[in-house]
Chains A and B, each alone.
Chain A
Amino acid sequence: DQQVKQNSPSLSVQEGRISILNCDYTNSMFDYFLWYKKYPAEGPTFLISISSIKDKNEDGRFTVFLNKSAKHLSLHIVPSQPGDSAVYFCAASGNTGTASKLTFGTGTRLQVTL
């Protein structure tokens, strides 16, 4: 069963606009969430994370929102740049304090057009 779901396989956004990537999870034991960006032939690169005790975390152009009641999180990129074109993975972890394994979604391919 897919405990972390990214239902949009792809997204196209114009340069300068906002990109919104969505992620849903089913396991209520997850309490830490992360977003990774992946370019072809490279490993995933950590972008931003959020603990379940927060509902928003911001880092420069990237903001992650967490809605625990809906088991939903989203990544906002503002403004989008061509270099943001990549596959974005949502990941979740449980067992706060033990830094355990990550469970990933299937990814959303973002294309930022000129």
Chain B
Amino acid sequence: DTGVSQNPRHKITKRGQNVTFRCDPISEHNRLYWYRQTLGQGPEFLTYFQNEAQLEKSRLLSDRFSAERPKGSFSTLEIQRTEQGDSAMYLCASSLVQGSRHEQYFGPGTRLTVT
């Protein structure tokens, strides 16, 4: 399977703990995106990388959130001092910048529950 993969698929943590999620994009894709989805809503953009450079961050991404994409391959999203409001599905997507096509391909997501 050569799609986007995310680990772990589920994470339960206590408030105040740190968590880290990993995303492995489709191998030839140069852009990687992170989104967050809560119940009844569509995915909301958090940040994206082109190769290893983080090009844009949403205002949703508070100081407790940090994302990295070392060497332009996989990416990690870390949440420090988790809060109950961080409970959501965290989705990763990747794309190949090619002309004007904007299709992004999503992974299965990591569901975070903060108790």
Q: Which residues of A line the B interface, CB within 8 A?
A: 4, 32, 34, 36, 41-46, 49, 51, 89, 91, 93, 96-107
Contact = CB atoms under 8 A, between A and B. Distances in A.
Contacts of B35: 102
A49 B43 CA distance: 17
Given A99-B95, A101-B56, A44 B100 contact: no
B97 to A, nearest CB: 5
B92 to A, nearest CB: 8
Nearest to A36: B106
Contacts of A99: 31, 95, 97, 100-102
A24 B102 CA distance: 19
B105 interface: yes
Given A100-B56, A102-B45, A106-B41, A41 B104 contact: no
